[in-house]
Structure 1
Amino acid sequence: MKKVVPNILVVDDSKAILIVMEAILTELDMSDTITTCLSATKALEKVKRDINYFDAIFTDLNMPEMDGMELIRHLGELNYQGAIIISEMEHKVISLAANLAKQHNAHLIGNISKPVQLTQVGSLLNKVAYLNSHTLIKEPAISKTELINALKNDEITPFYQPKICINTSKIKSAEVLARIVSNTDGSIILPARFISLAEQHDLINEITFALFEKATSDFENIKEQLGQNLKLAFNLSPMQLNDLSCPNKLLLILKLNQLKPSDIIIEITEQHALSSLSQLETLNRLRMHGFGLSLDDFGVGFTNMSQLKNLPFTEIKIDRTLISNIEIDQFSQVVVSSLIDITNQEHLELVAEGVERPEELAYLRHYKTRLAIQGFLFSRPKSKSEFIDWAQYWIKVTGNTINYKPPS
């Protein structure tokens, strides 16, 4: 059976640390192979043999010959796509290391304290697994024929998940998420089984616009039922931004449904760098027309803090990997704290996604900022009718405090 993090490399100039790490990783039984190196130079040689072999690299920062920061820079130059975990250092060192790693196109996802603890390593491996697959249990993709039939049969269906203000409990917006709902038996296919396939076969625009048309058509009714204003958020991939006609297509659909661009937030995933002129032009035109722009999944891609000041985003969404167990995760605390500072300075909205535990919510509330939260702790994505029922109940029972046990 393939383990969730199959191949791990541990780099440290201390033999004792390597022995402890190997014992802990063996005890966790989440990996097929564990490789250890006493120097970063030798570790880099092993990585070069097969850049795709190691799923995660644990590295000390302070080592002779080549230190951990040099290793991260070289890994970025090699286009290493796996996760990197560093040893514990002071907050400013961690913050700068995280920003430099992004500039080197390297996935630095956490730090580990010494003495090494089994629970901390296990938590970090779960982060690695999420980074690699965005789900620990990956179901097989549907076929291209099944996807085309779903489009022909008008089975692309919007599901809604709220973003809630952490201070007031008000529903600020609802993210629209794609599902395939069978017309025959009502069975539901999740996006993990068809979004990558749609991108691969150039069908992603058809899914996006089908979703956009249905959700915007339903929007006025949703607001009437809830008795309050909110916005709708839709996902676009960076590759879709290469279509220079994208803003005009979205504007036409909004006009048909008598909506304004200010009613809509466009979420752009941060997993791939925004670099082409067409992507940047589309991004700018969307903002010029009044759409809100959200940088989604911040923390798993390559947008660094300084770039946030230059791109026309109005909202940043902190990726689940930085929210999971944040109350005990120093790396996540440092990165999120820096992100809160910059979004406050730039007057950007901030959303924490993937909030699943009361402990995570309690920690986030200490920031005392206008943070919005999204996650299973409050609501899973729901169909239109289920979302309206949930939201009406939420509005009825919540005051100015968050309900820790929302309805399922």
Structure 2
Amino acid sequence: MKPRVPNILVIDDSRAILIIMEAILCELDMSDTITTCLTAGEALEKVTADINYYDAIFTDLNMPEMDGMELIRHLGELHYQGAIIIISEMDPKVISLAASIAKQHNVHLIGNLSKPVQLNQVNALLNKIVSLNSHTLHKEPIISKQALIQALLDDEITPFYQPKICIASCTIKSAEILARIVSSEDGSIILPNRFIALAEQHELIDQITFTLFEKATSDFKYIQELLGNDIKLALNLSPTQLDNLDCPNKLLLILELNQIKPSDIIIEITEQNALASLAQLETLNRLRMHGFGLSLDDFGIGFTNMSQLKNLPFTEIKIDRTFISHIDTDQFSQVVVSSLIDISNQEHLELVAEGVERPEELAYLKNYHTKLAIQGFLFSQPKSNHDFIDWAKYWLKTSSTIINNKPPYE
């Protein structure tokens, strides 16, 4: 089934632009509802009536009475969580500043359309929106609380692994642990979008996380023997888990039992929720003090501003896939990623590009930003321990040929 962005709002003081946008969106057939407004004020009233209705908002910048930047500020005050795209020709400095301001307002500005609007531009941005909203747009049902508890009782929580690859050396720098429920009866797999939010809601997320970490650290010794002691293991924690001041001690105990050093582990913190409480900041600092690497995951779509990024003890930034998708042709993404590369160089941070799926994206990143590590389906989907080992053996034999040509799709 074709991915969709169900409800779209378009705002422009030009009726001609609205007609063109509506025609393009209808042609692409990716939306159930397209609403158009001639003024930002009218649009704001519609959004306010149901803050969760619109999945994406396309807005002009220069409009009478209320302009696009003022609208973005109001959307932030309303805690609008959909994607925002500006319909305006923007030079790189304006793009960079607009993205920074949007982040300060806690909204997701993911691109711009230059005029005259082209169908291929709109299509690329709609695909980015689908990626951004993958959790909210996904239609597979969440499993029941009882099913999740039973999966825990049956020991079905299973680590899968996805590599991060150094784009310059072709080496596997780390493997990210990703949660799956694997049925003990028929081997069927349940993806995390069907149970992670549920686990957080019912305070089962720590049990899942520590179960994954115990199993992954047990697997890790053989992975190190195969790929070398420089490879690291990456574990995801949500900011809410950082409120648990005992979290570092539990992780350290698991590492001690498996004779693994904290420096072998990267803790990935999702950026979709702000790091704010004293407990979160203390836990973050203690993890770094003990030698864990700290990665800011999904950077670009969340609420960590540049100042906070510089002040917190992160060692790595992961650029969200929405800024990697079609980066070879997307000026907005190129500017955002370029600014992140400058920051990572200034602050001596590792940088990872998430969601590399097309050879053209790899070519752009390889030619212009060779210090990056890359992660994505172009090289490997998340795999079980056994399949990851098989893939890694193949990669060791063929990596230089693959990365300089066309990687195999999986």
Per the normalisation by structure 1, the TM-score is: 0.96
User: Could you report, residue by residue, the CA deviation over 1:356-390 in whole angstroms, capped at 9, with x for unpaired residues?
Assistant: 11000001112233100001111111111111111
Pairing of 1:48-87 with structure 2 (within 5 A): 48-87=48-87
2:311 matched residue in structure 1? 310
Aligned position for 1:405:
407
Counting only pairs closer than 5 Å after superposition, residues 324-363 of structure 1 correspond to structure 2 as: 324-363=325-364
Aligned pairs for 1:290-301 (under 5 A) are 290-301=291-302
Equivalent residues of 1:293, 1:313 under 8 A apart? yes
Residue 133 (structure 1) aligned with residue 149 (structure 2):
no
Distance 1:395-1:193 versus aligned 2 partners, 3 A rule: same
Q: Is the alpha carbon distance of 1:75 and 1:2 closer, same or farther for their aligned partners in structure 2, counting shifts above 3 Å?
A: farther
Answer whether contact 1:238 1:279 (CA < 8 A) is retained.
yes
Q: Distance in 2 between matches of 1:215 and 1:167?
A: 27
**How far does the alpha carbon of each residue in 1:307-363 deviate from its partner, in whole angstroms, 9 at most, with x for none?**
211111100001111111111111111111100110011000000011011000001
> 1:326–1:2: structure 2 CA closer, same or farther, 3 Å change rule?
closer
**Residues 130 and 136 in structure 1, CA contact (< 8 A), matched pair in contact too:** no
Amino acid at match of 2:50: D
Give RMSD over aligned pairs: 1.8
Counterpart of 2:167 in structure 1 is 166
- Cα distance between partner residues in 2 of 1:34 and 1:401: 43
Select between 115-124 and 348-357 the one with higher mean Cα deviation: 115-124
**Which residues of structure 2 form unaligned runs of 5+?**
none
Structure 1 position 400, deviation (Å): 8.1
Structure 1 residues 400, 280: CA separation in 2 closer, same or farther (over 3 Å shift)? farther
SS in 2 for 1:309: helix
CA contact 1:37–1:43 (8 Å) conserved in 2: yes
Quote the Cα distance in structure 2 between the aligned partners of 1:50 and 1:78.
10
Whole-Å separation in 1 of the counterparts to 2:388 and 2:224: 12
Q: Give CA-to-partner distance per residue, 1:65-99, whole Å, 9 cap, x none.
A: 22111110111011111111012311110111001
Deviation of 1:401 after TM superposition, in Å, equals 7.1
Aligned residue in 1 for 2:369 = 368
- Indicate the residue corresponding to 1:176 in structure 2: 177
Shift of 1:146: 1.3
**Aligned partners of 1:169 and 1:401 also within 8 Å:** no
Q: How does 1:165-204 map to 2 (within 5 A)?
A: 165-204=166-205
Q: How far did residue 36 of structure 1 move? A: 1.5
Q: Which moved more, 1:117-126 or 1:330-339?
A: 117-126
The match for 2:29 is 29
Decide whether the 8 Å contact of 1:317 with 1:352 is kept in 2. Answer: yes
CA deviation vs aligned residue, 1:238-262 (integer Å, no higher than 9, x gap): 1111111100100111111111110
Distance in 1 (CA, whole Å) between partners of 2:317 and 2:186 is: 38
Tell me if structure 2 keeps the 8 A contact 1:163–1:171. yes
Indicate whether 1:250 and 2:251 are aligned. yes
Q: In structure 2, the residue corresponding to 1:328 is in which secondary structure?
A: coil
Distance 2:232 2:261 in 1: 10
Distance 2:369 2:123 in 1: 30
Does the 8 Å contact 1:167/1:370 carry over to 2? yes
- The answer for the alignment partner of 1:47 in structure 2 is 47
Number of residue equivalences: 408
Hey, what's the Cα distance between the residues in 2 that align with 1:320 and 1:398?
23
- For the residues of structure 1 that align with 2:136 and 2:33, how far apart are their CA atoms? 21
Unaligned stretches of 5+ in structure 1?
none
1:100-249 superposed matches below 5 A: 100-134=101-135, 137-249=138-250
Superposed displacement of residue 191, structure 1? 1.1
> Taking structure 2 as the reference length, what is the TM-score of the superposition?
0.96
**Aligned CA distance change for structure 1 residues 213 and 355 (closer, same or farther; 3 Å):** same
Identity %: 78
Give 1:193's aligned amino acid.
R
| Matched residue SS, 2:390 | helix
In the aligned structure 1, how far is the partner of 2:3 from the partner of 2:38?
A: 25
Q: Secondary structure at the match of 2:48?
A: helix
Q: Do the aligned partners of 2:6 and 2:30 also contact (CA within 8 Å) in 1?
A: yes
Do the aligned residues in 1 keep the contact of 2:172 with 2:227 (CA within 8 Å)? no
Following TM superposition, by how much is the alpha carbon of 1:228 offset from its aligned partner in structure 2, in angstroms?
A: 5.0
Shift of 1:45: 2.2
- Counterpart code for 2:13: D
CA distance in 2, matches of 1:180, 1:3: 24
CA distance in 1, matches of 2:160, 2:362: 24
**Contact 1:163–1:173 (8 Å) recurs in 2:** yes
Change (3 A) 1:226 1:382: same
Which residue matches 2:264? Answer: 263
* Partner Cα separation in structure 2 for residue 399 and residue 55 of structure 1: 41
For 1:126 and 1:135, how far apart are their aligned partners in 2?
A: 14
- Check the 8 A contact 1:2/1:32 in 2, yes or no: no
Q: CA deviation at 1:46?
A: 2.2
Q: Which amino acid aligns with 1:78?
A: L
8 Å contact from structure 1 (residues 390, 407) kept in 2: no
Q: Is the 8 A contact 2:13 2:63 kept in 1?
A: yes
| Per-residue Cα deviation, 1:152-187 (whole angstroms, up to 9, x for no partner) | 111111111110000110000000111111222222
Shift in alpha-carbon separation, 1:135–1:47, aligned structure 2, 3 A: closer
Moved over 3 A (4+): 134-138
Give me the whole-angstrom Cα distance separating, in 1, the residues matched to 2:183 and 2:229: 32
Structure 1 residue 407: Cα displacement: 7.4
Q: Which residue of 2 aligns with 1:5?
A: 5
